[in-house]
Amino acid sequence: MASPHKVTYHKGKLQAYLDRERIFPACLELDLSTECNRRCPLCPSATGGSPAQLELRFIERLLARLGGETRGLLLSGGEPTMAATFPDTLRIAREHGFVEIAVVTNGDFLSEDVVAEALCAHATTIRVSLYDWTDTPEADLRGTLHRIEHLRARIEKTKSPLQIGISALTTTENAPKFAEVGRAVASAGAHWIYFHPFCIRWEEGAPQRIDQRRVLEAIADFRNTSADGFDVFTFPDRYAEYEIRFDGYHAAHFLLVVGADGMNYLGAEVKYQRRHILAELGQRWDAYFLWHKERLDRIAAVHSDTYPALGSRHRGVLYNHVIQELLDGETTSFHDEQAGETSYLYPHIL
């Protein structure tokens, strides 16, 4: 299960933050390029503007700056596996001490040698997003299933530790198909599947979930019948209705989001929304950008009452709520002996 408490795994950083000290983020979410071979109508990364891609020089500088302090790297986009910088980025991240590297992909290029080789050599996991599977999943996903089989065979052959994950967007409408799509990807060789809510209104910077009734029940039903060795995950708090409250977007100190335009954005749910730029890293590189007063002030000024993307219940929003409770002294759970010791899958990928 994913959890808003995953941020508390990073106990040292969290304690330092509560003590108002400077910290490096636990995880970097980096878009290599905004380019993509698909045109999903509700793409969260559609910029509406001109395409952008990061130069390798920039990527190396950023990874070198964070290396040794930040252990998690999540590559996204656009389609990251299409970017010319993809293989080198994975290699350089390992050289700079990133411990867990996750790649979010549409899976269309997994059969390309250069992509599969870089993944097997350096990545911890991929998360293949499935689109267009609501009618007849097996038939709709034939190409993707084939590429998953191909990659799994390569993993076995090279004894790579790479894990193949799948992500499926949920709605009340597609809930009856979860078991079918889950079984199809499991038999193609995926290690796990992750269900998360379909959102709309990305273009306004105000993403929100659409109807998710009966989704958690359908996921639980599928989990009860799924084969051993294939994991079924979700993030229950993303489906919940409890009120979220925070004064300052604390998660921006733990999860650093950098777009393919070289901008640091507040959170993944508002990427490419200009009003949520925290720092401009491309043209105005400064090794101390994390702690610039202007950046810190922008983060501190965000409040749950007026945050337009609250309705997405995205992970950053949920981490904010947990950190706010700690700041307000409303929970003591973090200070007990067990805190930070709960086992999370890929704990460095926030």
Ligand X SMILES: C[S@@+](CC[C@H](N)C(=O)[O-])C[C@H]1O[C@@H](n2cnc3c(N)ncnc32)[C@H](O)[C@@H]1O
Contact residues toward ligand SF4 (CB under 6 A) are 36, 38-40, 43, 45, 77-79, 106
- Residue 60 interacts, among ligand SF4, ligand X, none and using kind-specific CB cut-offs from 5 to 8 Å, with none
The residue type found at 251 is A
Q: Which is nearer to ligand SF4, 22 or 38 (CB)?
A: 38
Query: Least separation, in Å, of the C-beta of 349 and ligand X?
Result: 12
DSSP symbols for 35-99 = --S---TT-TT--SS---B--HHHHHHHHHHHTTT--EEEEESS-GGGSTTHHHHHHHHHHTT--
- For residues 316 and 254, give the distance between their C-alpha atoms in angstroms, rounded to a whole number: 9
- Other CB atoms within 10 A of residue 231 CB: 16
Closer by beta carbon to ligand X, 71 or else 315: 315
- Which residue lies nearer to ligand X by CB, 8 or 144? 144
Size of the site for ligand X (CB under 6 A): 17
User: How far apart are alpha carbons 246 and 184 in whole angstroms?
Assistant: 40
Q: Which stretch binds ligand X (CB under 6 A): 18-26, 76-84, 110-118, 177-185?
A: 76-84
**Considering only residues 176-215, where is the footprint of ligand X by CB under 6 A?**
198-199
Is 320 a binder of ligand X (CB under 6 A)? no
List the single partner that 104 binds among ligand X, ligand SF4, none, CB under 5 to 8 Å by kind. ligand X
| Strand 263-265 versus strand 255-258 pairing type | antiparallel
The 3-state DSSP class for residue 122 equals helix
Query: Shortest distance, CB of residue 37 to ligand SF4, whole angstroms?
Result: 7
Rounded distance between C-alpha atoms, residue 102 and residue 123, angstroms: 6
Where along the sequence are the contacts to ligand X (CB under 6 A)? 36, 40, 42-45, 76-77, 79, 104-106, 129, 167, 169, 198-199
